[in-house]
Amino acid sequence: MASSAVPPGREVPTANSLLKQAQAATKDKSKDEVGKESEEEFKSKHLGLLGVFVWILFLHIVGIFYFTKGFLLTRMVLENKSSCDVPPFNEAPRTQQLNDDCWHQKSFDKAIVIIIDALRYDFTVPFAPNEDIESAHLFHDNIPVLYETAISNPQNAFLLPFIADPPTTTLQRLKGLTTGTLPTFIDAGSNFAGTTIDEDNLVAQLHAAGKNIVHLGDDTWHALFPGYFDHDLTRPFDSFNVWDLHTVDNGVNEHIFPLLEPQNYTKWDVIFGHYLGVDHAGHRYGPNHPAMAAKLNQMDKTIREIMSNIDDSTLLVVMGDHGMDSKGDHGGESDDEVNAALWMYSKKGIFGRTKPETVLPPKYARERFVPQIDLVPTLSLLLGIPIPFNNLGSPIEEAFAGPNGNDWNNLVTVNRLASAQIKRYQHAYAQSRGDDGAESQLLGFWETAENELQGKPKNLSTVYDAYRQYQRHTLHVCRGLWAKFNVPSMVQGIAVLLAGIVLLVFYARGLQADRTDITGPFLSRVGLGSVLGAVAGTVLVVIRVTELKVLEASALFAALGSILGASSVIFSTQCLSIPLPNSLWGWLAVVFTVSQSLGFASNSYTIWEDEILLFFLCTFGVVAGVSSMRQGTTTDRVLGVYHSIVFVILARLASLSRLCREEQMPFCRSTYYASSTSSTSAPWQLALPFLVMLILPTVIKGFYDGSKSYEGAAGLWIGIGFRLGLFVTSIFWVLEELDGKDWLPLDSETLKSIRVFLAQLVLGLAFAAGTTAFLYSKPCVSINVAQSAAEPEPTVKRPSSPGEQQLPRTTVTILGFGNVHGTRFFFLSINFCLAIMLMQKPMGQGTMALLLWQILSLLEILDTNSLVTSNSSIGPIVLALLGSFYYFKTGHQATLSSIQWETAFIPLTTVKYPWSPLLVALNTFGPQILTAIAVPLTVLWKRPLQLRDSNNASSKPALKLLSDVAQAAATYILYFSTINLTTTMWAGHLRRHLMLYRIFCPRFMMGAAVLTVVDVVLILFSVAGVRWSTLSVAEIFGW
């Protein structure tokens, strides 16, 4: 009798029927050729399917590109540096200058630059009633020193409104204040990680000029300018704790005043002091609070004390880097947030006013303001250093007008210098970009000014005005280029993404036919549409209807053409139904996806995405448990409920691993690292990788054992290979943690090489050995053929080996028959899981193990609830939810700062392209990658093995399988593309929102990145892997 390993019950007769079919197959000699044909057909259809997914990826890339082009305006970072030896003019009329001066004669030897974070302009001027505010608030008139000195000694001090370019966050502001450029969300620089400023800047120029620079206060400076500050005198303070009003300020005071004492005065040239108390008081209490008044008073005293301690050759600058809104927060671009104050003071008395009406500081911030970037050329020229190369600011008039306000000669000189440098920068920028759009339209202003100067006019003020015009126009044009949203481009991108989603919805959920059948016409129409579109786009560029570049235009029109082509195929298919769910599961999938997508319109739901995902996953688990209770057989019921409970508990367990984003405070406690201020693991967390090594392979074995599939390569792969890889990973992370602790008798170089070797070993095991094994391994079945004289049953043998002669009365025992496809394909998940785990911190390895376990539980739930064979959308959607959920559980957030750049150095010692970005992607998007790999399993796990029915030539189980895989993969993409579309739309819609740069923009970038990664992983590994697993199964069981 033919016995199979499956439990008794309804399976046995079907097993028999299968064997009969197999037997029938062997009888027919021509079956062999049919098998060959089927194999070829399968391979070509599979390739076609990949083509469909490549087209989807193409649509996504075009859509994201067009939206990004209009939304995330990027600016190239030029690495050119100004230097004393190369003045900005071609001619070198340097005769009048002294030798030790640079481009311009310096006015001061030393400078103290005090930044009072969030010092709004109206804090510094006397309260003036207007229609908005009738009586003085607590923040008024509490820091009078700036205004008083500017009034009483105008030659010694001036006070001006100092307007920031949004985003008004300290980091972006410091960039602007030191480089003189405009901020954009992304400065496309060359450095791979971190925030270090690559561009030419004040600090670098001071350093190059041999000045000894001291920094006190906010530690953001150290991230921006590592290595420029005097080690002994500099004192950075943590800037994160906004609840603490005094530590930073008192710390700065404690260290700044000793430096002003005569015996220490020679130890430094420039001091940057950054006070945070005002900012923190604003964040914590808001501006109209006694704490703010007290803080401003303290600042007032501090400034007076510094003033009394400086000598004649020292310039004192006090400024705010941004303002604050009515609640005391900042980041956006409202007036209150961008209005800061600038005050300069010296005992020398060289400041002046050119007009009598400008003697008094402006009453309101919107009068006679200067842009913050003006600080850069002003400070450079006052201190006798070159103007940083990328500067767009202008020298501040008051600082160069001379005590009597009539030193036009000096004003023209400094403005000519600044203008020439701007011109040089614009030229270099245009050259490296390859177009001269902005440069040529502005050259006219420059030439006007030059001509006026050549004409040797009596009144130099017109020359001065001409140079100013050039500078301000350039600034205006650049601001337009770098800070303006291009709405048509954004709309084009959204339209492409939307069309892609509509087609994907019909392809994934509306199409009733075999998806492999329409691949042929689909691809040819798409190809035709793309080619026509590309040609049309090129023509439009050539005849100058559009101003796009050739490549961009042809990509856009190719996308549009292919969308039309695809629609013509999909919507003309007979078997199209309205893609509405018809079961609770389908509705659940829709509700999860749509409600989360809508939630991204709110900053709260974006911030708390991790909790929402947990909520959804638990909902799914509970519904799965309830549904399992309805199942007919006790086995299905018990197993279904058991796995549902496991699923929910694992999700809740994983949710304990958190890395909080700033906005989640104070309702969140980070557990991912040893403490909220460190990025190292706690000692107990190092035990996690070892636990994973012990437990995870056993758990997987349990799932394989359930269908008696722990056969063939499974034992070697899971029990030995995977476990070995996990063990090496554990050792790696222990060594990583020991680094710098001097516990081992090895120097850190040796330790580093050992670590790199171990890491490469694991990656080699996962990817090199793992992939080879995946390509050539047999399915996880064991087939025993035994002689049995008693049973006169028909014989069975493998159809693929016709050479063997049939033996009569044979018993065939097949172990692992029930889950042939699933267990074979799951090897790919194990490979990726190992590699991703290596790239995670110990805590992340624990959660990744939970993820793998949860994926297996999900698959069992799908099986016991008959959701594998019915191609329900819930499987891929829950996988997508799991991927998103575990993104947050591996120490990430939807912020740029949560990217774990250091993981690029796990298996490498230096940055190597393209590997380093790939490694960081493996760390960042590991969970989404792993779930993407598992997507085919939602239709393969315990899929009944079907053989070609000899009576029905049209039944092609392998193609049906392929079609189901395509449907699952398309559904999975559907989730991420919906998220991507909505985050894109919300970011575009809320582009003036206060939280754009902190919340919506990062979430949009994450959505776009995840979608691209998921698409690529599905094409290259997940759907592609189905080819080899199916081939390997078919080799044993026939087509």
Instruction: From residue 633, give the alpha-carbon distance in Å to each of 14, 639, 864, 976.
Output: 17, 10, 10, 36
Length of the chain: 1039
Question: d(Cα 23, Cα 210) in Å, to the nearest integer?
Answer: 89
Q: Which parts of 895-924 interact with other proteins (CB under 8 A)?
A: none
Contact range with other proteins by CB under 8 A, out of 188-196, 689-697, 954-962, 1001-1009? 954-962
Judged by beta carbon, residue 13 or residue 262, the one nearer other proteins is: 13
Q: Are 124 and 162 in contact (CB under 8 A)?
A: no
What is the smallest separation between the CB atom of 863 and other proteins, expressed in angstroms?
7
Output 320 or 625, the one with its CB closest to other proteins: 625
Distant-in-sequence, close-in-space partners of 904: CB < 8 Å, separation ≥ 6: 192, 193, 911, 916, 917, 919, 920
Q: Does residue 505 bind other proteins (CB under 8 A)?
A: no
CA distances (Å), origin 592, targets 27, 597, 654, 876, 947: 51, 8, 20, 12, 36
* Residue 639 near other proteins by CB under 8 A: yes
Q: Is the Cβ of residue 10 or residue 366 nearer to other proteins in the bound state?
A: 10
Residue closer to other proteins (CB basis): 45 or 942: 942
Q: Give the nearest distance from C-beta 780 to other proteins in angstroms.
A: 13
- 326 lies in the site for other proteins, by CB under 8 A: no
How many whole angstroms separate alpha carbon 1018 and alpha carbon 126? 64
- 517 touching other proteins, by CB under 8 A: no
Phi, psi of 776 (to 5 degrees): -110, -5
Q: Contacts with other proteins in 786-845 (CB under 8 A)? A: 817-819
Note whether 545 binds other proteins by CB under 8 A: no
Nearest distance from residue 668's CB to other proteins, in Å? 11
Q: How far is the CB of 967 from other proteins (least distance, A)?
A: 8
Kindly state the smallest distance separating residue 1014's Cβ from other proteins, in Å: 22
Q: Interface residues for other proteins in 607-636 (CB under 8 A)?
A: 607-608, 611-612, 614-615, 618-619, 622, 625-627, 629-633, 635-636
101 binds other proteins (CB under 8 A): no
- For the segment 591-610, give every residue that binds other proteins (CB under 8 A): 602-605, 607-608
Beta bridge partners of 339: 163
Only one of the segments 484-492, 741-749, 938-946, 1010-1018 lies at the binding site for other proteins (rule: CB under 8 A); that segment is 938-946
Tell the smallest beta-carbon distance from residue 806 to other proteins (Å). Answer: 22
Q: Of the two residues 507 and 557, which places its CB atom closer to other proteins in the complex?
A: 507
The residue with tokens 């008039």 is 397
Smallest gap from Cβ 851 to other proteins, in A, equals 17
Segment interacting with other proteins, rule: CB under 8 A, options 9-17, 85-93, 262-270, 430-438: 9-17
From the list 173-181, 264-272, 584-592, 718-726, the region that binds other proteins by CB under 8 A is 584-592
CA distance 484 to 992: 11
Q: Which residues neighbour 720 within 8 Å (Cβ) at sequence distance 6 or greater?
A: none
Q: Is 887 in the site for other proteins (CB under 8 A)?
A: no
Q: Tell me the closest approach of the beta carbon of residue 801 to other proteins, in angstroms.
A: 22
253 vs 516, which CB is nearer to other proteins? 516
Nearest residue (CB) to other proteins, 250 versus 631 = 631
Cis omega (within 30 of 0) for bond into 914: yes
- Two tokens, residue 675: 């403490």
> Which range of residues in 334-342, 404-412, 579-587, 930-938 is near other proteins by CB under 8 A?
579-587
Residues 750-779 that bind other proteins (CB under 8 A): none
Q: Which two tokens stand for residue 138?
A: 């607590």
CA dist., res. 205 & res. 382, Å (int): 13
DSSP secondary structure string, 3-48?
A: EESSPSSTHHHHHHHHHHHHHHHHH-TTHHHHHHHHHHHHHHHHHH
844-883 positions binding other proteins, by CB under 8 A: 860, 863-866, 868-873
The CA dihedral of 686, 690, 695, 701, to the nearest 10 degrees, is 130
Q: How far apart are CA 620 and CA 549, in angstroms?
A: 47
Is 509 a binding residue for other proteins by CB under 8 A? The answer is: yes
CA distance linking residue 505 with residue 31, whole number of Å: 38
Total of residues contacting other proteins (CB under 8 A): 82
Residue with tokens 């003309």: 572
DSSP class per residue in 782-812? EEEEEE-SS--PPP---TT-TTSPP-SSEEE
Which of the stretches 352-360, 786-794, 888-896, 944-952 binds other proteins when contact is defined by CB under 8 A?
A: 944-952
List binders of other proteins among 640-659 (CB under 8 A): 648-649, 651-652, 655-656
String of DSSP letters for 450-497 = HHHHHT--S-HHHHHHHHHHHHHHHHHHHHHHHH---HHHHHHHHHHH
Nearest alpha carbon to residue 221 among 273, 281, 277, 166: 273
Residue 289 CB, shortest distance to other proteins, in Å, is 17
Smallest separation (angstroms) from other proteins to the CB of 995: 10
Q: Which is nearer to other proteins, 384 or 697 (CB)?
A: 697
- Measure CA of the first residue to CA of the last residue in the chain; give whole Å: 24
Closest listed residue to residue 588, CA positions, set 826, 838, 878: 878
Q: x/- binding map, residues 10-39, to other proteins, per CB under 8 A?
A: xx--xx-xx--x------------------
Nearer to other proteins, 838 or 969 (CB): 969
Contacts of other proteins in 718-757 (CB under 8 A): none
> 86 vs 598, which CB is nearer to other proteins?
598
18 vs 534, beta carbon nearer other proteins: 18
The residues in 658-717 that bind other proteins, with binding defined as CB under 8 A, are 703, 705-708
SS3 271: strand
Task: Quote the least distance from Cβ 623 to other proteins, whole Å.
Answer: 8
Q: Is the backbone peptide bond immediately before 745 cis, with ω within 30 degrees of 0?
A: no
Which one, 500 or 875, has the nearer CB to other proteins?
Answer: 875
Tell whether omega for the bond before 167 is within 30 degrees of 0, i.e. cis. Answer: yes
Considering only 284, 960, 991, 993, the residue that binds other proteins (CB under 8 A) is: 960
Q: How far is the CB of 859 from other proteins (least distance, A)?
A: 10
Q: How many CB atoms lie within 10 A of CB 47?
A: 13
For the CB of residue 825, give the shortest distance to other proteins in the complex, in Å: 15
H helices of 578-632, where? 584-599, 603-607, 609-629
Alpha-carbon distance 562 to 540, whole Å? 17
Task: Give whichever of 7 and 488 is closer to other proteins, judged by the CB atom.
Answer: 7
- Residues numbered 465 to 504 that lie near other proteins (CB under 8 A) are none
Q: Which stretch binds other proteins (CB under 8 A): 8-16, 492-500, 523-531, 1027-1035?
A: 8-16
3-state secondary structure of 959: helix
In the complex with other proteins, which residue's Cβ is closer, 86 or 584? Answer: 584
Task: Rule CB under 8 A: say whether 586 interacts with other proteins.
Answer: yes
Q: Does 946 bind other proteins (CB under 8 A)?
A: yes
When the beta carbons of 504 and 765 are compared against other proteins, the nearer one is: 504
Contact between 160 and 349 under an 8 Å Cβ cutoff? The reply is no
- What is the footprint of other proteins within residues 966-1005 (CB under 8 A)? 967
| 560 residue type, one letter | L
Dist. CA 875–CA 881, nearest whole Å: 10
Query: Please, which residue, 293 or 958, has the CB nearer to other proteins?
Result: 958
